[in-house]
Homo-oligomer: A and B are copies of this chain.
Amino acid sequence: MIKKLIDEIIRKDAPIVAGLDPMLSYVPECLKKEAFEKFGKTPEAVAEAIYAYNKGLIDAIADLVPAVKPQIAMYEQFGLPGLEAYLKTVKYAKEKGLIVIADVKRGDIGSTSAAYATAHLGKIDIEGNESEPFGSDFATVNPYLGTDGVKPFTDACNQFDKGIFVLVKTSNPSSGEFQDRLVDGRPLYEHVAEKVVEWGGASMDGDYSNVGAVVGATYPEQGEKLRKLMPYTYILVPGYGAQGGRGKDLKHFFNKDGLGAIVNSSRGIIAAYKQEAYAKFGDKGYAEAAREAVLAMRKDIRENI
Contacts and interface: CB of A to CB of B under 8 A. Distances in A.
A77 interface: yes
A118 B77 contact: yes
Interface residues of A, number: 72
Contacts of A84: 80
Interface stretch (A123-131, A203-211, A253-261, A285-293): A123-131
B133 A76 contact: yes
A41 B80 contact: no
B126 A45 contact: yes
Contacts of A45: 126
A158 interface: no
A231 interface: no
B77 A133 contact: yes
A84 B82 CA distance: 12
A10 interface: no
A79 to B, nearest CB: 4
Contacts of A82: 133
A46 interface: yes
A301 to B, nearest CB: 22
A73 B116 contact: yes
A60 interface: no
Given A42-B129, A80-B83, A129-B40, A107 B142 contact: yes
B175 A145 contact: yes
Contact of A147 (B83, B105, B177): B177
A275 interface: no
A246 interface: no
A191 interface: yes
Contact of A149 (B41, B133, B172): B172
Contacts of A71: 108, 112, 115
A258 to B, nearest CB: 27
A87 B79 contact: yes
A172 B149 CA distance: 8
B115 A76 contact: yes
A132 B82 CA distance: 12
A240 interface: no
A174 interface: yes
A126 B192 contact: no
15 contacts: A41-B126, A73-B108, A73-B115, A74-B115, A76-B115, A77-B119, A77-B124, A78-B124, A79-B133, A83-B83, A142-B144, A144-B167, A146-B176, A147-B177, A182-B184
Ordered nearest first, which 10 A-B pairs have the shortest CB separation? A146-B177, A146-B174, A79-B133, A73-B115, A109-B172, A41-B129, A76-B119, A77-B115, A181-B183, A148-B174
Interface of A: 21, 23-24, 36, 40-43, 45-46, 71, 73-74, 76-80, 82-84, 87, 105-113, 115-116, 118-119, 124, 126-129, 131-134, 142-149, 167, 170-179, 181-184, 188, 191-192, 195, 243
